[in-house]
Amino acid sequence: MSDHYTYRVTWSAEDEEHLGLCAEFPSLSWLAPTPDEALAGVRKLASDCVADMRANGEEPPRPFADRVYSGKFMVRVPPEMHRALAISAAEEGVSMNRLVGARLAGHRQHQ
């Protein structure tokens, strides 16, 4: 199986090293002096974890990149927030879906 897992390398001020992370295995991490070494370390760790899981008859997590997303999800908010979003959408002349999607993406809607 190809390695389609989602990796990230960040700086750990506490450890004063680069930290390799894997989104599908949130408990795994790898510290190293360089970003390349941190990435290589966490990739190897994830690969070993997948091999161990398979050897024990467990199904490893499916990579986020290989999952299919519909683009829809439900979010529950307090009624006051729902009202405020409906008003903002009306004032901006857009649907509430468009308004919330843009806000989630970090943008404000402009006409």
Q: Per-residue pLDDT tens for 25-38?
A: 999 999 999 999 99
pLDDT at 1: 47
pLDDT at 2: 63
pLDDT in tens, 46-60: 999 999 999 999 999
- Per the structure, the complete domain to which residue 108 belongs is given by 69-111
Q: pTM (2 decimals)? A: 0.72
Residue 2 lies inside a defined structural domain of this protein: no
Same domain, 36 and 83: no
Does residue 83 lie in a domain region? yes
Same domain, 11 and 60: yes
Residue 10: phi and psi, rounded to 5, are -135, 165
61 and 73 in a single domain? The answer is no
* Same-domain check for residues 60 and 74: no
**Backbone torsions φ then ψ of 107, nearest 5 degrees:** -120, 155
Please identify every stretch of the chain with a pLDDT value under 70, giving residue numbers as ranges: 1-2, 107-111
- Please indicate, yes or no, whether residues 59 and 24 belong to a single structural domain of this protein: yes
Asked if residue 73 belongs to a domain, the reply is yes
